[in-house]
Amino acid sequence: MISIKTSINMSSIVVLDGFTLNPGDLSWKKLEQLGQVAIYDRTPPELFAERAAQAEILIVNKHKIGASEMDALSELKLIAVSATGYNNVDTQAAQDRGIRVVNVSGYSTPAVVQHVFALLLGLINKVEAHDASVKTGGWSAQQDFSYTLSTIAEISTLKLGIYGFGRIGQAVAQAGLAFGMEVLSHHKHPQRDATPGVTFVSLEELFRQSNVVSLHVPLNDSNRGIVNKDLLGLMPTPAYLINTGRGGLINEMDVLQALKDSKLSGAGLDVLSQEPPPVDHPLLRAPNCLITPHVAWATQAARQRLLDEVIQNIEAFRRGEDRNVVV
């Protein structure tokens, strides 16, 4: 999709990779009222300079913007990231050049929470397996009105461990409590974020006590691959791992082995270390593993909130106000 709208005497805005934000079910109209706007679904590197040459404002989701890209754009004043994470932008280079960088946080919390429990309930209730069994004649061949393919746990009997207790982690905790789960968390600020019904423990104790561990921390050098065979080996039975955070948080080969050895009863993964994954990624054929294509954030309502926030960030920048400023 290429869309260009013009408003006289207003800044040039270029959306470099707008498809994941708006695959066609949202309206760009409010954005187009802000100036001369060019919207591209995706921008290959060889077309970057041509498309962004006159841009004063760039809107990017995952497109990489480094020092060389900034130096090619003499009019650039603002990089508006249509996401929470901004590691695709060289923020130091932007600061050195007087280019403002803004992002959006908090827009996807309800969407991620429902996806966490969609993955968990899908694993516990074996929804996919039972559906496949029924549709291949399994139910029709039964003598009884009901059958199960394996033992089904009840979610209220399981302990939920939440690694990271920011806005999303806190909302996951509330949902877990509503299901009747005992909730534990490992968090940097347990006293500041003390929550009724939630017990804060060490990371090792979180895995030792929890039947379900859900990951909600940002990825950094200190926690890359932190969910490994040692932590997974501490979990009681049954044991489920849910990752809607970042793929790099887990050692994928250790998770694969834990699934093969039935140490993990199931894994629900919305993120992988490489996205899109190669066709031979080992977890794509792992037993008892549900994988979704990084869609936990992507409900229509969440994407609308994201677009609205991007627009408000741009409007604030024009007024000279600080809003969601990274640098």
Q: Provide the CB-side half-sphere exposure for 247 (13 A, CA).
A: 16
Instruction: Determine which one of 97, 294, 318, 323 is catalytic.
Output: 294
- The DSSP-derived string for 56-106 is SEEEESS--B-HHHHHT-TT--EEEESSS--TTB-HHHHHHTT-EEE---S
Contact (Cβ atoms closer than 8 angstroms) between residue 52 and residue 14: yes
Return the amino acid letter for 160.
L
Tokens of 119: 């993955």
Instruction: Determine which one of 128, 204, 275, 321 is catalytic.
Output: 275
How far apart, in Å, do the first and last CA atoms of the chain sit? Answer: 31
- Catalytic residue status for 192: no
Distance between CA atoms of 113 and 220, rounded to whole angstroms? 22
Task: For residue 74, count CB atoms less than 10 angstroms from its CB and return exposed for 0-12, middle for 13-18, buried for 19 or more.
Answer: exposed
Q: Which residue has the tokens 């008892």?
A: 288
- Catalytic residue status for 275: yes
Report the 10 Å Cβ neighbour count for 47: 12
Q: Which of these, 40, 41, 71, lies nearest to 53 by C-alpha position?
A: 71
Sheet containing strand 36-40, edge to edge, reads 2-5, 36-40, 12-15, 57-60, 78-81, 100-102
Report the 10 Å Cβ neighbour count for 104: 22
Instruction: Determine which one of 216, 246, 303, 305 is catalytic.
Output: 246
φ and ψ at residue 79, rounded to 5 degrees: -110, 110
- Catalytic residue status for 204: no
Q: Provide the CB-side half-sphere exposure for 64 (13 A, CA).
A: 6
Catalytic residues: 246, 275, 294
